[in-house]
Amino acid sequence: MEDYKGSMRMQEQKSKNIIDFIDIPDALKEIAGIVADGGRISPGQGIMLFEQGDLGFLGFLADMVRCRKSGNKAYYIRNFHIEPTNICVNRCKFCSYSHHFSKTRWELTMDEILDKVNAQEKNVSELHITGAVHPDRDIYYYGGLLKKIKAARPDLHVKAYSAVELDYMIQKSGMSKKEGLVYLKSCGLDSIPGGGAEIFDETIRKEICGMKSTSDAWLEVHETAHQLGIPSNATMLYGHKEGYIHRIDHLERLRQLQDRTHGFNAFIPLKFRNSNNEMSEISEVSVTEDMKMYAVARVYLDNFPHLKAYWPAVGRKLAQVSLSFGVDDLDGTINDSTRIYSLAGAEDQNPVMTVSQMITMIKEANRTPVERDSFYNELDLVEN
Ligand code: V47
Ligand code: SF4
């Protein structure tokens, strides 16, 4: 470990020297110095990176941070999703999934959900449950569901219910956020996914998803969860009506919360996809913009252990390239179990990735593939 740290220090010193030879404004050189020293950049410097940093420079900075945190490792997990329903009390304009836009209504029964759980191979280690905010289902239904899943597969890590789903079911029960989360934890809730964050800026949030839980409520659910020992992820929906200032504001709110709790595992930038929703007139952003987003997030969120590219949302090719822009986690095998992104126009209409495909993808990017569990513990390599 000392050797590794020593070589990192040498690499950082070399990085500083290399920067001296690049023809960029002094203000960007100053940012490079801060990043090389393991320091923290300010909101103004974050905006400057978006506005003035070219892609090679941003990739270089993000790679320094990624390498310091994860060495050469790139993680993946054997997982699957369950989306219990698409019937939703909200009406987010970017959503292609809820019954409002897709015009079909469906809700899985408890037995249908359990059949999906029982159909999974034993080496699948994580279940991600998220869906719409159903008006008639309550916290006891979702707690009961967790209990049944745990009874069927006690070894499965259940990462369930976005902060927006949780906020709704907890409010409806009359419990406080703490009481609701304590109850769900006792039923088997292991961690919380990062969905529902969208964009924290209140004006844009109101425009694109005004009915949804507020930004403060989202942050409060995660803060309370962390205090109870329930880890979580964070997301940001980008590439719609927001500007760089809103992206940095979002990252800043997350960075401050993480300073207090250290409960976030990964940050996941979610690219707005424009098919089949009420924001289809907005063009999707370029790949350059995507890579900038990953790189700046990696640099800005110096206290987040991992940066994830969720490949069913961005496509395999973009996910692979993102490994050179700060990403150290490609999420999972998915097993064709999610529709949120296929409905919004993602490349993979039936997302499934075998472990060997995942390994090949990572090796082609010159990284070392590591299968992880939900806490980023390393598992022994088994290719099938
Ligand atoms: O909150 C919905 C997003 C999220 C669109 O925590 C869209 O490991 C782009 O949060 N274009 C749900 N994005 C998915 C999510 C997630 C996914 C994978 C892993 C994890 C994790 C979390 O999907 C929603 C919303 O931000 N979304 N529609 C769209 N048209
Ligand atoms: Fe409902 Fe989620 Fe779609 Fe918003 S994004 S309408 S909360 S399913």
Q: 139: exposed, middle or buried (C-beta count within 10 Å: 0-12, 13-18, 19+)?
A: buried
Per-position DSSP letters for 302-366, written without gaps between them? TT-SEEB--HHHH-HHHHHHHTTTT--EEEE---S---HHHHTT-S-SS----HHHHHHHHHHTT
Out of 133, 206, 270, 273, give the residue to mutate to test ligand 2, the one with the largest number of ligand atoms within 8 Å of its CB: 133
Q: What is the 3-state secondary structure (H, E, C) of 278-294?
A: CCCCCCCCCHHHHHHHH
Q: Contact, 69 vs 366, CB < 8 A? A: no
CA 246 to the chain's CA centroid: 18
The continuous run of DSSP H or E covering 195 comes out as: none
pTM of the model as a whole? 0.94
Encode the chain (384 residues) as per-residue pLDDT tens digits.
445 556 666 666 666 667 777 778 899 999 999 999 999 999 999 999 999 999 999 999 999 999 999 999 999 999 999 999 999 999 999 999 899 887 789 999 999 999 999 999 999 999 999 999 999 999 999 999 999 999 999 999 999 999 999 999 999 999 999 999 999 999 999 999 999 999 999 999 999 999 999 999 999 999 999 999 999 999 999 999 999 999 999 999 999 999 999 999 999 999 999 998 999 999 999 999 999 999 999 999 999 999 999 998 889 999 999 999 999 999 989 876 666 666 777 777 777 789 999 999 999 999 999 999 999 999 976 766
Alpha carbon of 19 to ligand 1 centroid (Å): 36
DSSP code of residue 362: H
Pocket of ligand 1 from Cβ distances under 6 Å: 94-96, 130, 193-196, 198, 233, 235, 237, 268, 270, 272-273, 277, 310, 331, 340, 344
CB-facing half-sphere around the CA of 199: CA atoms within 13 A: 28
Nearest CA to ligand 2 atom 8: 132
Closest CA to 83 of 288, 361, 327, 312: 312
Q: Contact, 318 vs 308, CB < 8 A? A: no
CB neighbourhood size of 11 (10 A): 14
Per-position DSSP letters for 47-69, written without gaps between them? HHHHHH--HHHHHHHHHHHHHHH
Q: Contact, 346 vs 313, CB < 8 A? A: yes
Nearest-angstrom CA–CA distance, 200 and 253: 8
